[in-house]
Chains A and B, each alone.
Chain A
């Protein structure tokens, strides 16, 4: 008997990284998964995104822990795609009890050179994408009348300044505002709305994009790193200095444990909470 037996969870950005980790962790505890991912790159964002092969791997990983999963290619910038994916999931698994709005992008562009198209894309995915994600699942949750748990992935960056992330920080702070007012609005339905503020998680989003170049500029005299490993070490050292627990990275699994806690009935009286899983970053 798992901690989420009989539950259905809708997860965005589930092809890899944190999203895949959440899918597998929730499935381990008995949840069935409706997973979506864009499975292609976004021209405005200089990073490599999940692929169809990655999403297929998530399916395999969920099935490997005896979970059921319906996975679809869907872009959180397209409401109709999300609606269709949820409807497919409901047909096979039943209505969602849990929503994990995880899909996000970070372009790592400095403010002076940031074109409006990049700003708009970040907000469209990270903030409006959350609006669409919840909007696609909520009618099913209300109709089922069983309450539920909506978990919005914000970011530790909401609590402290960070370099080259003005669009990302604004979008993730927006998620907290959305969370708080949505929690108030959905309280009468016993639908809880919370956010998680992760510290730095070493996923492809971080290593495939601009950030490595910027770190090189800051700590390596502008010279590119000799290897990806060297770049990751330099990033780790940068982040570690800002955390109370002297580590640079939080593992995806650690965020998934927070998702699991907020998804389960163990947290049935927790709403409008921002759970920081950040090695003490916010308080330092």
Chain B
């Protein structure tokens, strides 16, 4: 690949993506690479005690590397935890050293638990906010400084969630995801004079391990007032039925690639005057 001239809607840009080992994060990395970007990726690559879904692994992250390279992109991928600023900054520093700049930030890393407010411990509530809210602050601050130093008119994309608009059984997660919208608004206003744009995306239901796991299966069965599901597939079918009723389009969930298409639009110069926007990719979930 090396020095070949790349074309595409984000040709020549460098994108920093968290939670990139699988699911939506991997999809964003591959999409942006296929449109000409180079990628700086991190993922925790280990489980978090409070989270209900198993997290990605080092092998998953290596698969992202393979797919990005196959799409024609260069990539720096490291194991790092967004809760710790020094870990994030080390990856950012390596990315800057390798590619010379960061134009796009996609704050995608997240962790979910499905507990009612009355069951939530103070520790688990805090742990969720550490990843889903403080983790985003940790993700964006250093790259933004690098943009200001280099005069880069960058694009910051925070992955919020459709849960910002409708009740879901994830009180801590929805609180953090909603906070991202007002955080983005303030940051967009702060960085407007520097032509750095800050936007959020609110995906609807996406079938990634954050939903497609046994713990959430138990939760779904409980919510539907039925026996536990015998198989993962049975759980998926029940989720499809349950979620499609909440969507305007006749689907249970949206594909990760659909969210990546929105990331691409916001990362590209096509959206150069779009800032402080909440872009919903949700099959009509928010307004039904």
Which A residues are within 8 Å of any B CB, using their own CB?
180, 183-184, 187-188, 190, 192, 199, 243-247, 250-251, 254, 257-258, 260-261, 266-273, 275-280, 282-284
Looking at the complex, which one of B250, B277, B287 makes contact with A190 (CB distance below 8 Å)? B250
- Give A250's nearest chain B residue, CB to CB: B273
Min distance, Cβ B278 to any Cβ of chain A, angstroms = 8
Interface hub of A251, A254, A271 (most chain B Cβ within 10 A): A271
A244/B265 in contact, CB under 8 A: no
Number of A-B contacts (CB under 8 A): 113
The stretch that binds A, out of B56-64, B95-103, B170-178, B188-196, is: B188-196
Cβ contacts under 8 Å, A266 to chain B = 258, 261, 264-265
Cβ contacts under 8 Å, A187 to chain B = 247-250, 283-284
A243 and B192 in contact (CB under 8 A), knowing A261-B270, A279-B275?
yes
In the complex, what distance in Å separates the CA atom of A277 from the CA atom of B275?
A: 8
Min distance, Cβ B259 to any Cβ of chain A, angstroms = 8
Cβ contacts under 8 Å, A251 to chain B = 273
B71 within 8 A of A: no
A269 and B275 in contact (CB under 8 A), knowing A245-B197, A283-B189?
no
A268/B248 in contact, CB under 8 A: no
- Identify 16 residue pairs between A and B in the complex whose beta-carbon atoms are under 8 Å apart, listed by A's number: A183-B248, A183-B287, A184-B248, A184-B284, A187-B283, A250-B273, A261-B265, A266-B258, A266-B261, A269-B251, A272-B280, A272-B288, A273-B280, A280-B276, A283-B188, A283-B276
Cβ contacts under 8 Å, A278 to chain B = 273-274
Min distance, Cβ B198 to any Cβ of chain A, angstroms = 9
Min distance, Cβ A280 to any Cβ of chain B, angstroms = 4
Cβ contacts under 8 Å, B189 to chain A = 244, 280, 283-284
Cβ contacts under 8 Å, A183 to chain B = 248, 284, 287
In the complex, what distance in Å separates the CA atom of A270 from the CA atom of B277?
A: 14
- Give B197's nearest chain A residue, CB to CB: A245
Of residues 176 through 213 on chain B, the ones whose CB sits less than 8 Å from some CB of chain A are 185, 188-189, 192-193, 195, 197, 204
A269 and B197 in contact (CB under 8 A), knowing A244-B188, A276-B277, A280-B192?
no
A279/B249 in contact, CB under 8 A: no
Looking at the complex, which one of A192, A199, A243, A244 makes contact with B249 (CB distance below 8 Å)? A192
B254 within 8 A of A: yes
B255 within 8 A of A: yes
Interface of A is mostly: loop
B126 within 8 A of A: no
Cβ contacts under 8 Å, A271 to chain B = 248-249, 283-284
Beyond A187-B284, A190-B249, A277-B271: 13 further Cβ-contacts under 8 Å?
A183-B248, A244-B275, A254-B271, A267-B281, A272-B288, A273-B280, A275-B277, A278-B273, A279-B192, A280-B276, A283-B188, A283-B189, A284-B276
Interface hub of B193, B255, B287 (most chain A Cβ within 10 A): B287
Cβ contacts under 8 Å, A284 to chain B = 189, 276
B218 within 8 A of A: no
B14 within 8 A of A: no
B261/A267 in contact, CB under 8 A: yes
B192/A269 in contact, CB under 8 A: no
- Give A246's nearest chain B residue, CB to CB: B193
Min distance, Cβ B93 to any Cβ of chain A, angstroms = 29
In the complex, what distance in Å separates the CA atom of A283 from the CA atom of B182?
A: 9
B67 within 8 A of A: no
Q: What sequence of 0s and 1s flags, for each residue 256-267 of chain B, a beta carbon within 8 Å of any chain A beta carbon?
A: 001001101100
- Give A271's nearest chain B residue, CB to CB: B284
Interface hub of B249, B270, B287 (most chain A Cβ within 10 A): B249
B274/A276 in contact, CB under 8 A: yes
- Give B261's nearest chain A residue, CB to CB: A266
- Give B189's nearest chain A residue, CB to CB: A244
